[in-house]
Chain A
């Protein structure tokens, strides 16, 4: 089945230690998104790629970076995780830039110790 895959499902990192979360998709969608979702809150968009074009949200901290080496993969890099970065990180895809639904992966739960 075509899908959005996130690895790992659970990630524990130490305060200040860089961490990378991975997302892959078999849908061949042009757009990939990264959301941060803290406990009992709505998902908050961090950034998205349309093909290779990167779009950062205005309030996304510089500590968060992203890479999209090809259509299928997208990475979220947190350069120096703080305790406040502990959250669920959701990857999503959308077919193209026109308005349509987003398909979400299962998420990566990040714990910062």
Chain B
């Protein structure tokens, strides 16, 4: 069965420091992978996605992610974190079920940014 694991429930980084959020997936075929960000009390916003091609994908707000098939990973990175990046981050794998595409989410990583 398809699944997504985000091993880090909570991460704290200093403003200006680099960030890496981990994501591992389990999927039988070529995965469709997504990272979403959720600010408190808000819906989810797409940061980036991987469907095929270049394994390093660029997203909004200076984020990037690298797909590593051998490790079944899709880790999110940012070279320098800003206070506004404090939020919850969800990794998801796209799958097909019922009539159309569906997302299976990881449990999320809550990012805190300290001055």
Interface set of A (CB-CB < 8 Å, partner B): 4, 6, 31, 33, 40-43, 45, 48, 50, 53, 55, 90, 92, 94, 96-107, 109
Q: Which residues of A contact B103 (CB under 8 A)?
A: 43, 45, 102
Contact B42 A42 (CB under 8 A): no
| Interface window among B20-28, B62-70, B72-80, B92-100 | B92-100
Knowing A42-B106, A104-B44, the reply to whether A99 touches B99 (Cβ < 8 A) is no
Interchain CA distance A4-B103 in the complex, whole Å: 18
Interchain CA distance A41-B38 in the complex, whole Å: 12
A-contact bits for B73-115, CB 8 A (1 contact / 0 none) = 0000000000000000010001011111111011110100000
Contact of B101 among A41, A53, A98, A107 (CB under 8 A): A98
Contact B46 A43 (CB under 8 A): no
Which A-B residue pairs are the 10 nearest by beta carbons? A55-B98, A97-B100, A50-B99, A104-B43, A42-B105, A104-B44, A50-B100, A106-B43, A99-B101, A99-B32
Contact A48 B105 (CB under 8 A): no
Interchain CA distance A40-B107 in the complex, whole Å: 8
Contact A90 B44 (CB under 8 A): yes
Contact A99 B51 (CB under 8 A): yes
Q: Which residues of A contact B97 (CB under 8 A)?
A: 55
Q: Which residues of B contact A45 (CB under 8 A)?
A: 102-103
Interchain CA distance A106-B105 in the complex, whole Å: 17
Contact B99 A105 (CB under 8 A): no
Q: Which residues of B contact A97 (CB under 8 A)?
A: 99-101
Contact A94 B43 (CB under 8 A): no
Residue of A nearest to B45 (CB): A104
Can you list 21 pairs linking A and B with CB atoms under 8 Å apart?
A: A4-B43, A31-B99, A40-B108, A41-B107, A42-B107, A43-B103, A45-B103, A48-B99, A48-B102, A50-B100, A53-B99, A90-B43, A94-B100, A96-B100, A97-B99, A97-B101, A99-B94, A100-B101, A102-B103, A107-B41, A107-B42
